[in-house]
Amino acid sequence: MKKKIFDALKSVYGQGSTLDLPDDIISRVVSLGSLTITSEDQIAGFVSASEPLFKTERNMLDYTAKIQNLEADNASLKSLVEEAGKEAKKETDPHETPDMTAIMAQFQSIVDKAISPLQTQLDKYAEQDKISRVVSSAEKIFRNNDYVRKYSKEAENAWERASEMFEATGRKWGEKELQENAMKYFTKYVKDKGIDTSKPLESSHDTDPRKGFGSFDRAAAKLGWEIKNK
C-alpha cells in the first residue's frame, strides 16, 4: 500500500511537478498516510488533502535556499574584506604602525563595490517615486478646474498631449509646468468650440426658484391654495 501511496503523491508533487519536491519529503508524508488509508479508493482523497502540507514544504525549501544564498554572499564579502586586509598588510613594514587610514579606505572601497548595485536600484526607485508624485499632483490641480470638469473629452486630450510632452522632455517639468501645459492645450481645444476659459463658468442651474415644485403646486391648486412667486 505504501508503494501505491508514494507513487500517487510523487506523480502530483514530486520532482518534475509544479512543487518539484524530493523523494524524502514524499516518503515522510507516505508514512502519515499509511496510518489512515485502508483501501486504494482512499488514496486519491489523501493526495488532494496533502496539498497544503506539500506547499508548506516547498516554501520551507525556498526559504532555506534564500538563507544559503545570503550566507554565501556574506561569506564572499567577508573574503573580499580579508583579502583587502592581507594586501594592506603586505604593503606595510612589519616594524611600522599599520596605516589604518589606508586600510579603512580599502575596506570602504570593497563595501561600496558590494552595495553599488543595490544603491543604484534604490536611486532608481526614488526618482520614479518623485516623478509619480509630480504627475499625480499636477493632474489633481488640472482636473480641479470647473471648465475641465465640464468638458471632459477636451480635458482628456489635453492631459494626454501634456503627458506626451512631459515624457519627450525627459520628465524634467515640475508639477506647475505640467499642469500649466495641460491647461494650455485644454484652452486651445475648447477655444475652437468658442469657449473662453478666462471668463467665469456660467451655472447651468435654472434661476426659477419654483422649478421642481410642479407636483406640490398641482396638489395645492386642488386644495384651493394660491401660490405666489416672490
**The pLDDT of residue 120:** 67
- DSSP bridge partners of 14: 21
Residues sharing a CB contact under 8 Å with residue 92, sequence separation 6 or more, in sequence order: 98, 99
**The pLDDT of residue 177:** 93
Please name the amino acid found at residue 59. Answer: N
**The pLDDT of residue 176:** 92
**The pLDDT of residue 159:** 93
- Compare 230 and 161 and report the one with higher pLDDT: 161
Which has the minimum average pLDDT: 17-31, 61-75, 170-184, 216-230? 216-230
Highest mean pLDDT: which range of 32-36, 85-89, 110-114, 166-170: 166-170
Q: pLDDT band at 179, cuts 50/70/90?
A: very high
- The answer to whether 148 touches 180, Cβ cutoff 8 Å, is no
Percentage above 70 pLDDT, the chain: 63
**Taking the model in full, what pTM does it have?**
0.40
**The pLDDT of residue 206:** 46
Mean pLDDT value across the chain: 77
CA dihedral 20, 23, 25, 29 (to 10 degrees): 110
Query: Which residue in 154, 163, 161 sits closest to 134, CA to CA?
Result: 163
Query: Which residue in 142, 140, 224 sits closest to 183, CA to CA?
Result: 142
**The pLDDT of residue 199:** 87
Q: pLDDT band at 210, cuts 50/70/90?
A: very low
